[in-house]
Amino acid sequence: MPLPVCTKSGAECMSLIRSFSSLLSRRLTLVCLAGAVALATVRAEVPASFFGVWARDDSFDPKQYPFLKGFAFNAAWREVERQPGVFDWSRLDQAMEKAVQQKTPLYLSLGVGPEAPEWIYAHGVPKVFTDDELHKSKWPYYPYPLAPAYKSYFQRLITEFGKHIRGYPAEKQARIAFIQVKTGCTGDECAYKGEPIDARYALPKSSAKWRAFRLEAFALFVKTFQEGPGRPIDLLFNSIGGDADGGKDFGEEWDWVTAHCKSGFGIKNGALSRGHHLSGERTLYDQWTRFLIDPKGVILTNNHVVEGADSVEIQLKDGRKFVSRDIKADPKTDLAIIRLDAKDNLPYLELGDSDAMEIGDRVLAVGAPFGLTGTVTH
């Protein structure tokens, strides 16, 4: 496995780590100077306590299922806007209150596309019929998402969704782990199930028109939930992988998300995550694990910085301090990691892959590995 190196530029990172040791207490203080070698983008991360098995609705009883970490609020568009411009967020209010009372996190999503209210079809949105039989009883037809009227109603829905969420007190908003971005059928990110009978409404998942609609929706979600006042809320996306994603090329979507998201984001993994899909695990594992970030906080530093220490104190640029006894080191490579028990979000350095480096890339080298007497630090 290649050693992780940073090939990014800009923003903030926990980078230069200087130690001030006290021989009497054998305790080290690590001062993390963010911005000194500013090489990566800082994004918030969900707390470690949010990771685990979740319920897919809001009906579970934590006493009966104590192992569940959180629950989901899923609502169809037709449920919250039964009349044009009149929104009913009572179910959302109940779910948020439940999360606060039970001290559990939740994630939020709104079903759009075929779950849109019936009134939109009388207000300028064409109905699209497809050859799909499997979902016909549930979704006999679909809205044409490129219709100007549909775009306007969709944008109003997400905007009002954001306004209502931002109206909650901070302690309630903190219960939200992430918001799932849905632009088509459920979270599958397709305009329709099946092919349209009328070819004028064709919108293949890989088409430029559908991609443009999705990116416009992505921008709306980022603006609504990650910009402006209030805590940025992480977003969950689907179909944003590149060529390695089973031969499907959503690289433009990936580039947009990594360039524009102001906070953390997740990727829906579909059937593989449910445990009943028995192919493609290695491909997906190899593709996505390099992007995983440990929300508990793992600091990469030098072995010679922590060598001989029983505990370390880490001080961030913002003044926060953490004490850790969880220290692992490798003298040969002069690398060490320190794990923090952080209750809040931490900034992090986005590591690159040495195999993907090109001549001219900026590199931050840490330590003096393999017994070398010196190191190139920049």
> Nearest to residue 204, comparing CAs of 192, 215, 216, 214?
192
C-alpha to C-alpha distance for 350 and 300, rounded to whole angstroms: 12
Residues of the chain with pLDDT under 70: 1-48, 242-248, 270-282, 284-296, 342-345, 347-352, 364-378
Scanning the chain, the segments in alpha helix (DSSP H) are: 77-80, 90-102, 148-166, 170-173, 208-226, 251-260, 271-274, 281-288, 303-306
CB count within 10 Å of CB 121 equals: 16
3-state secondary structure string, 6-49?
ECCCCCCCCCEEEEEEECCCCEEEEEEECCCCCCCCCCCCCCHH
C-alpha to C-alpha distance for 49 and 46, rounded to whole angstroms: 8
Q: What is the CA radius of gyration of the chain?
A: 24
Q: What is the DSSP letter of 50?
A: G
Structural domains in the chain?
4-42+296-371 (2.40.10.10), 48-291 (3.20.20)
Looking from the CA of 305 toward its CB, the CA atoms found within 13 Å total 27
Q: In the numeric block, which tokens belong to residue 89?
A: 């967020």
pLDDT at 23: 24
CB count within 10 Å of CB 142 equals: 28
pLDDT digits (tens, 9 = 90+) for 196-239: 999 999 999 989 999 999 999 999 999 999 998 888 999 999 98
Measuring CA to CA, how many Å separate 186 from each of 19, 75, 147, 212, 226? Answer: 51, 11, 19, 19, 22
**DSSP characters for 92-122?**
HHHHHHHHHHHT--EEEEEE-GGGS-GGGGG
For the sheet with 298-301, list strands across it.
298-301, 335-339, 327-330
Going by C-beta distance under 8 Å and a sequence separation of 6 or more, which residues neighbour residue 166? 173, 228, 229, 230
> Nearest to residue 316, comparing CAs of 90, 15, 56?
15
Q: What is the DSSP letter of 356?
A: G
C-alpha to C-alpha distance for 139 and 114, rounded to whole angstroms: 6
Q: In the numeric block, which tokens belong to residue 182?
A: 């849905």
Exposure string (b/e) for 148-176, b if CB count within 10 Å is 16 or more? eebbebbeebbebbbeebeebeeeeebbb
Give φ, ψ of 289 to 5 degrees. Answer: -65, -30
Based on the number of CB atoms within 10 Å of its own CB, is 236 exposed (0-12), middle (13-18) or buried (19 or more)?
Answer: buried
Measuring CA to CA, how many Å separate 122 from each of 83, 119, 125, 143, 183? Answer: 12, 5, 7, 11, 21
pLDDT digits (tens, 9 = 90+) for 342-357: 666 676 666 667 777 7
Q: What is the DSSP letter of 72?
A: E
Are 175 and 169 in contact, with CB atoms under 8 Å apart?
no
pLDDT at 6: 32
pLDDT at 75: 97
- 327 residue type, one letter: I
pLDDT at 177: 93
